[in-house]
Amino acid sequence: MRILRFTLVLLFTIAFIYLANTSGPFNSQLPAIGSFFSPFHGFWKNAEKVNGLKDESFALEGLSAPAKVVFDERMVPHIFAENNEDAFFLQGYLHARDRFFQMDISTRSTAGRISEVLGAGAINYDKRQRRKGLGWAAENALSAFDKSEEEKRAIEAYSKGVNAYIESLSPEEYPLEYKILGIQPEAWSSLKCAQSFKTFANTLCFGHDDLQATNTRAFLGDSLFSELYPEHNPKQSPIIPVGTTFDFERIVIDEELPQEDLIGMVPYRSMPMPPPYIGSNNWAVSGSKTAAGNAILCNDPHLDLSLPSIWYEIQIHTPQMNSYGVSAPGTPGILIGFNENIAWGQTNVGWDVLDWYSIKWADDERTSYLLDGKTKKVTYRIEEIYVKGKKDPVLDTVKYTEWGPVSYEDKKSGYDGMAMRWIAHDKPDDKPFYEMGTFIRLMRAKDYDEYRDALTGFDAPAQNFVFASNQGDIGITVNGKFPVRKDQQGRFIQDGSTTANAWKQFIPKSQVPAVKNPERGFVSSANQRSTDDTYPYYYYGRSFDDYRGRYVNRKLEAMQGITIQDMMAMQNDNYSILPEDALPALLRLIDKADLSEEEEEVKKLLKDWDFVFDPDAKAPAVFLSWRREMYNVTFDEIINKGQEVDMDYVENWRFIELMQESPSHKIFDIEKTEQVETADSLALKTFRKASKEYFERSADSRDWAEVKGTFIPHIGNIPGMASKRLKNGGYNDAINSVKKSNGPSWRMIVEMSKPIKAYGVFPGGPSGNPGSPYYDNTVDQWAEGKYYELQIPNSPESLKGTLFTWSLE
Amino acid sequence: MKKYKLYIALLLIILAGYLIQPHTPWWSLAPIALIIVLIFQLSPTKSTIAGFLGGFILWGVLALLQDSANQGILSSRIGAMLGGMPGAAVPLFTAVLGGITASLGALVGSLGRNLVASSE
């Protein structure tokens, strides 16, 4: 009896310890609760003392000279180092201290290594990332960075700094997420810096619609397709002011494109793409338009919002440079910022730089393919995907052709092998420096010429780099590596058996669209088309902005005597041209209709609306649901087809134009019904539905802020680590482009006075630790449209409001 | 002296745990309690009490101290992560886990001692 009792208790104890020591027991998402709750090992160690930060002096192996880091009131670090390598070493150290999980998870995600931390559920995701060739792209980028001495040294110093921090950690000091997931941090490397940079390419220039457009054209026929999907919106107000002359000898490629004979449906689904609303605003006004006579530069990149933020604020001061701005954990340098002489910002360009080529296999085993009548062997890249909890990796063999990786293989379809040609894969041409070098040069640039020179190193993802200096210059450059295209080339899937379809040359950096000090006194971009039709090169993009750019230019055109406060108000402007265009068109269609009392009330609400997406506005929710319903019944045939195969969807501006100009167009007819529908009848039907929906909502849930429901999730979507729901305004097509969890990820305003005056805010904080008071300390300020003053002192002592200082040697 | 055995064992579990746990895995609390009840030759009931209270107090007090220095920022997030546990319950849950771990170790020790004692 005693033996039995002892044995039972012993077994129970062992089982308890075993279970409490297991991460994800019973296939749950639970951490190993024993170590997780232990006050000696677990999350309690990540509960930072509030007001517990003190001055520290310590030695860091890897620093060549003493250095100081002073942290301001918001805990933003200001690095003072004796040389650039020491500064980048410290930047790496700080990024790792505050954001290591973010760096680790985002590089693993780019390289297709998520299964290692999350398990078998992520295998398909990893395969896809690898079939995109992202790992290969990062290796190609690194081979270039390594050829440029300054970049190589910066990346190596940065990586050493990251590792100096990681190696100093004992398991109880690991970031919280490692304890939750039961994983270990792994050492950083230069390759990871390259992968981290490719994360941006994946987010910003992976967008394409060759497959969708091919399907849609096959479904609708050439004539209806070209009617519904014009290449661009004539109403757009381009980045380079209309009337700017492009004074250069363009590259001409004489060869004819072969006749397209591949039109047909592609039965398989395409890879998920970055959301279409990834966008940003930037502008600079010249001193002639400002109250103080100094140029002012503004930038707000719209990206997925997360805790921690994608951005990390930092000042880097060395004898060669003194720069402040936001950096991206995982890469050295400052991506958007300013120094004592110039300021720069970025928005995404959106030109199509990814084409799909259909492969003609030369043999049944698909080991070789045809190119210009000759047989070429594929090369193989064997991808080893390791999975958490399993010893052997999952293998995926990806075939590579001269075009790039064969991302899709599907024996059943006519498109048995589709290869990707993507600018972000390219091994860069020999140049004095590359993307990392661009940022290092911008950080120390003194004037317009040095800014333009810095951009020559930057290929992808193409960015609209805005510029202002304290010499009074402003400018903007649509900068990146762009293929010289024939008319329409790359809109649809191309025949990959002939090199006539290949990209032969690239637009020289001296011929990319750019403008300096235009007469109108401002430059701007909001992801719209870069130029008017006089630009000598053909380019195409599926997601050019139609509304923010027009509004930014309309506002700036009208403004005079601009102050910093005006610019703050403008970055937080919730007005949108989309309803300004769409709502009158919709309302006109129901003008004569007989409406109930409640419907009249809704109609009046819409009529009286000023097109501003303020938090307490009631009209936005009705307008958007009406627009959505109307869109869905108008393009029902296309949307239904989209259930089977990938389709392109008609752009909003074209939809509005059709309602305005051709309300009897056959597209409004619902084919499956007997009667013939027109825009009028559909508008009434959908308006009734939208008003009904409006009254079904409780009175306090009609406010736009409630409908929009903005909140900021944790970067790994761990529950409990997100922000609360925010009551802010904004809309996708407003300057203040706040969506549910995407929007202005950094707002910056820099006045080029002497000394410079700068303001900025992002939702989050420096720390990535959910147990830190600096994890989300700037979320409310951001939601309220307020800013912090940004300091760029010349010495550690002149920083105002120092929280604490590190003295390092 | 015999009267105070329970209290001394309890204090020793707390003290030894506090000194040894930073250098050993979390479950070291179980063998610590086991050894201490063996030394003090406590009965199974008293062992369980000493173990549970020792583990409970050690983990609970440390959790409370770290929680209050952190002003509850993390405990409320961890509570939300675990399905809506209130932040204030997180230190209590920690204490209970510490208590269970130590009491199980103590009970194993005490029952084991009885086993050996009876076979002699």
DSSP A630: H
- DSSP letter string, A584-619: HHHHHHTTT----HHHHHHHHHHHT--SB--TT-SH
pLDDT in tens, B88-104: 999 999 999 999 999 99
Chain A positions touching B97 (Cβ under 8 A) are: 20, 33-34, 37
Residue A701 has which token pair?
């849930």
A47, B59: Cβ pair inside 8 Å? no
Residues A787 and A774 in one domain: yes
Min CA distance, B19 vs chain A (Å)? 10
**How far B113 CA sits from the closest chain A CA (Å)?**
10
Instruction: Report the DSSP beta bridge partners of residue A315.
Output: A78, A324
Which residues sit opposite A67 in a β-bridge?
A: A808
Chains A and B form CB pairs within 8 A to the count of: 120
> Same domain, yes or no, for A536 and A647?
no
Q: What's the CA gap between A167 and A161, in Å, rounded?
A: 10
- The answer to whether residues A232 and A529 touch, using CB atoms and an 8 Å cutoff, is yes
Chain A, residues 23-62, CB within 8 A of chain B, namely 33-35, 37-50, 52
For B80, the domain range is: 2-119
Q: What are phi and psi of A344, to 5 degrees?
A: -140, 155
pLDDT confidence of residue A261: 58
* Cα–Cα nearest to A589, from A625, A630, A632, A649: A630
- What is the amino acid identity at position A185? P
pLDDT higher than 70, residue A262: no
Q: Give the strand pairing for A77-80 and A312-318.
A: parallel
Q: According to the model, what pLDDT value does residue A412 have? A: 75
Residues A520 and A427 both lie in one domain: yes
Dist. CA A488–CA A493, nearest whole Å? 11
Phi/psi of residue A624, each to 5°? Answer: -70, -35
Q: Is residue A218 part of a domain?
A: yes
Beta bridge mates, A503: none
Q: Is the peptide bond before A308 cis (omega within 30 degrees of 0)?
A: yes
Distance CA A42, CA A62 (A): 30
Distance from CA of A234 to the nearest CA of B (A): 50
Instruction: Please choose, from the candidates A135, A146, A141, the residue with its C-alpha nearest in 3D space to the C-alpha of residue A108.
Output: A135
A587 lies in the same domain as A547: no
Which of A269 and B120 is assigned the larger pLDDT? A269
- At A213, the pLDDT band (50, 70, 90 cuts) reads very high
d(CA A775, CA B71): 14
- Mutate which of A7, A37, A53, A776 to disrupt the B interface (most B C-beta within 10 Å)? A37
Which spans in B26-88 are helix H? 29-40, 44-69, 73-81
Amino acid sitting at position A624: L
What is the predicted pLDDT for the residue at A263? 62
Residue A715 lies in a domain: no
Same domain as A678, residue A553: no
Indicate the helix (H) or strand (E) that contains A651. Answer: none
Angle at A90 (CA atoms; ends A88, A92), nearest 5 degrees: 70
User: Six-digit token pair at B17?
Assistant: 């745990």
| pLDDT tier, A498 (very low <50, low <70, confident <90, very high otherwise) | very high
Q: What is the pLDDT of residues A642-679, one digit of tens each?
A: 999 999 999 999 999 999 999 999 999 998 888 999 99
**Domain limits for position A645:** 577-702
Cβ pair B74:A43 closer than 8 A = yes
Phi, psi of A398 (to 5 degrees): -105, 130
For helices B89-119 and A2-20, the axis angle rounded to 10 degrees is: 150
Domain assignment present for residue A1? The answer is: no
Taking a C-beta distance cutoff of 8 angstroms, is the pair A639, A216 a contact? no
For chain A, the domain total comes to: 2
Angle A249-A255-A259 (CA atoms, 0-180°, nearest 5)?
135
- Each residue of B21-80: pLDDT tens digit? 999 999 999 999 999 999 999 999 999 999 999 999 999 999 999 999 999 999 999 999
**Amino acid identity at A802:** T
For A716-778, where are the alpha helices, taking DSSP H only? none
C-alpha closest to that of A358 among A400, A402, A420: A420
pLDDT of residue A637: 94
Nearest to A463 by CA among A612, A345, A331: A345
Q: Helix H segments across A381-504?
A: 435-444, 448-455
Residue A549 has pLDDT above 80, yes or no: yes
d(C-alpha A279, C-alpha A347), whole Å: 7
Which has more pLDDT, A682 or B120? A682
Question: From CA A577, how far away is CA A611, in angstroms rounded?
Answer: 7
Inside any domain, residue A201: yes
Which residues in A lie closer than 8 A to residue B108 (C-beta atoms)? 6, 9-10, 13
Residues A109 and A228 in one domain: yes
Helix intervals (H) in A205-302: 210-220, 222-228
Question: Degrees (nearest 5) of the Cα angle A139, A144, A145?
Answer: 95
Name the residue facing B62 among A10, A39, A176 (closest C-beta): A39
> What pLDDT score does A465 carry?
98
The DSSP letter of residue A654 is H
Regarding whether A286 and A310 lie in a shared domain, the answer is: yes
Test B115 with A3 for CB contact under 8 angstroms. Answer: yes
Amino acid found at B81? M
Residue A607's nearest CA partner among A630, A583, A585, A629 is A583
Interatomic CA distance for residues A345 and A468, integer angstroms = 9
Interchain proximity B71–A39, CB inside 8 Å: no
Location of structure tokens 């130590």: B102
| Banded pLDDT at A345 (limits 50, 70, 90) | very high
Percent of chain A with pLDDT over 90: 89
**Is the ipTM, as predicted for this complex, more than 0.95?**
yes
d(CA B59, CA B63): 6
Percent of chain B with pLDDT over 70: 95
Q: Which of A17, A23, A29, A712 to mutate to test the interface with B (most CBs of B within 10 A)?
A: A17
Torsion angle of the four alpha carbons A450, A452, A456, A459, in this order, in degrees rounded to the nearest 10: 130
The residue from A669, A702, A735 where one domain ends is A702
Q: Residues of B near A (CB-CB distance < 8 A)?
A: 21-22, 25-27, 30, 59, 62-63, 66-67, 69-71, 73-75, 77-82, 93-94, 97-98, 100-101, 104-105, 107-108, 111-112, 114-115, 118
A39·B67 Cβ contact <8 A: no
Strands A56-58 and A804-808: parallel
For the CA atoms of A793, A794, A795, A796, the dihedral, rounded to the nearest 10 degrees, stands at 20
Residue A375 included in any domain: yes
**CATH number of the domain where residue A445 is located:** 3.60.20.10
Dump pLDDT digits (tens) for A133-149: 999 999 999 999 989 99
Which pLDDT does position A272 carry in this prediction?
85
For residue A40, what is the nearest residue in chain B, using CA coordinates? Answer: B22
The verdict on a CB contact (< 8 Å) between B94 and A719 is no
Look at residues A189, A39, A33, A24 and name the one whose alpha carbon lies nearest to residue A104: A189
- Rg (C-alpha) for chain B, rounded Å, is 16
Name the nearest CA neighbour of A657 among A687, A676, A684, A634.
Answer: A634
β strands within A504-572, DSSP E: 514-516, 522-525
Give A698-757 pLDDT, tens digit per residue: 988 999 999 999 999 999 999 999 999 999 999 999 999 999 999 999 999 999 999 999
Give yes or no: residues A568 and A581 share one domain: no
Q: Which residues of B touch A20 (CB under 8 A)?
A: 26-27, 97, 101
pLDDT for the residue numbered B120:
52
C-alpha to C-alpha distance for A337 and A759, rounded to whole angstroms: 11
Nearest to B108 among A10, A34, A42 (CB): A10
**pLDDT at residue A442, as a whole number:** 98
Q: How confident is the model at residue A596 (pLDDT cuts 50, 70, 90)?
A: very high
The 8-class DSSP code of residue A649 comes to -
Q: Which of A702, A730, A758 is the last residue of a domain?
A: A702
* pLDDT value of residue B119: 60
What is the least distance, in Å, from the CA of B2 to any CA of chain A? 25
Longest Cα separation, chain B: 55
Residues A100 and A238 in one domain: yes
Same domain, A561 and A649: no
Classify burial at A391, counting beta carbons within 10 Å of its beta carbon; exposed 0-12, middle 13-18, buried 19 or more.
exposed
By C-alpha distance, the chain B residue nearest A773 is: B73
CA-based nearest residue to A754, from A320, A340, A442, A345: A340
Q: Are A692 and A614 contained in the same domain?
A: yes
| B65-87 pLDDT tens trace | 999 999 999 999 999 999 889 99
Residues A539 and A688 in one domain: no
Domain count, chain B: 1
DSSP string for A17-69: HHHHT-SSGGG-S---HHHHH-TTTSGGGG-PPTT----EEE--BTBSS-EEE
Measured between CA atoms, the residue of chain B closest to residue A16 is B101
Region A420-434: mean pLDDT is 94
